[in-house]
Amino acid sequence: MKTQGVKFAESRKKIDEIVKMIYSLLQNQKFKDFMIKLLLILSFMGATFGGCHYLNQKAGLPDDNVIEELIEELIESKTGLEIDLTPGDDF
Ligand SMILES: [Ca+2]
Ligand SMILES: [Ca+2]
């Protein structure tokens, strides 16, 4: 039977492996580009379906919160498009 210490060490090792994997993926420029594109697509989808407002509510955050504004800034810096992911709350 394994002791708590051994179990902890094993799960620690697994976490380390996952972190290393994510880190090496982030070193990969193609993966980074892919993630940025994915983020943009998801953001546009969110804007289209009002998903951002829904996600904000789910996360207990107000609309136009810091995360939302950061994503909007990222979209603007990548595409030049100035958009609001939660239109409708600014009136
Ligand atoms: Ca906004
Ligand atoms: Ca807004």
Task: Find the Cα–Cα–Cα–Cα dihedral 47, 50, 51, 57, rounded to 10°.
Answer: 130
**Cα 53 to ligand 2 centroid, rounded to whole Å:** 9
**Cα 55 to ligand 1 centroid, rounded to whole Å:** 13
pLDDT band at 88 (very low <50, low <70, confident <90, very high): confident
| Residue 86 belongs to some domain of the structure | no
**Cα 43 to ligand 2 centroid, rounded to whole Å:** 14
Predicted structure pTM score: 0.45
Q: For residue 71, give its domain range.
A: 4-79
What is the percent of the chain with per-residue pLDDT over 70, rounded to a whole number?
Answer: 89
| Residue 89 belongs to some domain of the structure | no
Region of residue 71 (left: phi > 0; alpha: psi -120 to 50; beta: else) = alpha
Instruction: Say what the pLDDT of residue 22 is.
Output: 87
| Residue 85 belongs to some domain of the structure | no
| Residue 40 belongs to some domain of the structure | yes
Q: What is the pLDDT of residues 21-61, one digit of tens each?
A: 988 888 888 888 888 888 888 777 666 556 778 888 889 99
| Residue 88 belongs to some domain of the structure | no
